[in-house]
Amino acid sequence: MAELTVLYDEGCGFCTRIAALVGRSPTIEPVAIGSPRGSILLRDLTASERYASMHVVDDAGRRRSGGAALAPLLRELPGGSLPAAACDAFPGLAEAAYQLVARNRGIVSKLFPF
């Protein structure tokens, strides 16, 4: 079983591509927000809250969203421990960076077509 579940917006091409990339890690399981599992994991959120950001849920059931989700996600990726530490040290900056990318998904997707 994965140590981290990443809940992503299945209607967003950029989000879907990122989910596929991080899902290559054996410790990360990408799950669409609108899937039955996503609905269970995010049952306490409204639909708009669910789709407002990405979410990660660890194997202990702790959920983090938006910029706060970056550090635990990065820790599971090769070479991600240093960026994760930076996100932990500067949570406001992590949130600002997350929001900047989220607001500009179309542009970022064109700049980094992976």
Q: Which CATH number fits the domain that encloses residue 11? A: 3.40.30
* Structure token digits, residue 60: 């202990």
pLDDT tens column, 29-88: 999 999 999 999 999 999 999 999 999 999 999 999 999 999 999 999 999 999 999 999
Are 114 and 101 within 8 A, CB to CB?
A: no
Cα separation, 1 vs 59, in Å, equals 9
Are 18 and 10 within 8 A, CB to CB?
A: no
- Number of structural domains the chain divides into: 1
pTM here is 0.90
Cα separation, 86 vs 94, in Å, equals 8
Cα separation, 85 vs 71, in Å, equals 7
The residue range of the domain holding 107 is: 4-111
